[in-house]
Every structure is written in structure tokens, then in C-alpha cells.
Structure 1
């Protein structure tokens, strides 16, 4: 089964569930992500499973055996690349990353999107301001991301100079927060 087939099946399976969750979303002020409600009493994985925009990320988290970790107590801040962000990677490269023999590399890439703290966007913006316009963000994967402001948006630059923009900030989870980003960040190469 190809990655695209797997993702298409996952989207179809979660679309109905996401619509049902969205109907019951009233009463929370969490942003919708991928057409689905995000509930602050659900963990990172439970909410990501409902986002039609994060099916590739969910497949990658499963392939790297990080599901149990991201369902844990945390706290975690996850910079969550969308399917479109993963779409900037060639199909061959992405398929290779999802193979069992690439698990260590995939794990490092994914954990370079995770911070071992619950950090909301206003706190990140404050750290950027306090540090004179740029703040180093150490990740669980050993990467250092550089956070800065681009107008009212937070951007993150990886160790290779690749820049991602936070497109949806402050999606509260029971074990942390998700900030949706538009590019996959990589460790130094």
C-alpha cells in the first residue's frame, strides 16, 4: 500500500468523525484544525487524528512509534506540519522515511518539532522580544529552531535555513499545545 493510499483511507475514515466532533465543539474557544474541532481535554494524538490536514503527520508519528509518547502526560509543544508541508517533500523521500529502516531518522525529524514544555504563542512572542527579535528554541530531538516575528506571525527557522510559519497558534491539548506550521523542519544536514 502506498503512502497516498494510506493517507486517502485515513482521511475518509476520519472525515465523518471530525464532522461529528465539530458539531459538539461549541463551548470551547480552541481553533478548528483541518475542519475538525480540537478539544482541550483530549491529548495531542487524539486531536491530530481528527484533523484532515494532519494525516501525513499522524502516519509519520505511527511509523516512528511516537504515539504513546505524544499521548503521555507531557507537557509538549508540537509544531505540527500540515499535509501540504509534507507535500513539499518528494513522494520517494517521504515513502523512504516511513520505512522501518529509517525509523531513527524519522524520529529525529519529528522530535525536532517538539518542545518539552507547554508554550503558548504569546509566551514565544515575549521571548522573541526579550531576546532582541530572535529566540532559540531547543527541541526534544536536539535541534535548535530560531523563532522570530514576521508581522504578527511567528516563524521558525531550522538549522538548514528552512523557514516555517505558524498558521494556527495555541491549539490547547490536555498534555500541551499544538501550533500548526506550513513546512517540515529538519535537523542539521
Structure 2
């Protein structure tokens, strides 16, 4: 007796074979926000085939100088996080000022999370990847000008994980104090806010 596999089973088996060839990404490290390149190197940001410097360079993200005081960096969706690296999708120079929009990289690819920037528009640092999670720190400086955790003055020290539109980070303030928690409402618009 000959067994026949249904077409759907064969298709799933083929997808599984392709998936095992890609770098593994935990479901808890799937990202859903946008960022932009923050590399000060004039040669640009290397995009690699996997999460690490031992992977092949498959693209470079360079800022565009429009002759003004601003340089515009490529923006991209952030898809995943692994070992200090973000997997990104297509990267584009957006339509800012006199710079025409331009696709500069066809994703996916991986860039160091240390070279990705975005604004944090929600001042709450939470203890989990949910709007209902308890607040660890309120970085809203509007009501407390003496706050050492003024959102405008803190910076990201380390990225730990992704959870959809949330990012687990350690932030550091100007006095050197650190706090760890989850941020959200991340904005990649280099000209204005996203709200």
C-alpha cells in the first residue's frame, strides 16, 4: 500500500525546511516598530545576513546630506531582535525637505541594535510588554522639572528583548543611574513626532 501526502502537508514540510535555514528568532523577540540608522560612520551602517559581525555584509545604510543642518538617515521596520541585533525590513530615505524618497535596502537584514534610533513618545517604563503592566518609572518631565529621569535627557544603554510594539531596555540618566523595563510608542520620524 502506498501512502500519499496531501499537497498541504508537502507545502508545510517545504516551509519548515526553509524556516530551519534561517537564523532562529524567539516568538517573544518579534518586533513591530520603526527605527532609523544612527551610525556616525560616514561609510554607513553595515546590514548583515544574520545577527552578528561574523555574518556576510549584504547592504549598507548611509545618511543623505541635503545641504542643510540636517542629515536624513534610512528608516525601516524592525521585525525581530536577537543577541543585540535587530532584523530589519526594507530601508528607505523618507521625503524630508529637499531629499527625494529612495529605497536604499531591500530586506530582511540585520543591524546592531546600538546603531538604531527612535524617539520614545510614551514616558512610562513598564514591568512588562503591555499597556496594563505596572509602571516602573514615569519619565514625564512636564510635571517635574527636577526629575533626573526627564525623557528628553535619558538614553538607551542596552536593548534586551522585543514584544511587538514594546521594547525591553535599560535606560540611563545623566547622573549614571539605570532602570530596566519596557517602552512603547516608538517613533522613527526624524522631522517631527509621530503622535
Return the structure number with greater relative CO, CA threshold 8 A, min gap 6: 1
Indicate whether the TM-score tops 0.5: no
Q: What TM-score, normalized to structure 1?
A: 0.26
Q: Which has the larger radius of gyration?
A: 2
Q: What TM-score, normalized to structure 2?
A: 0.25
Select the structure that is richer in helix: 1
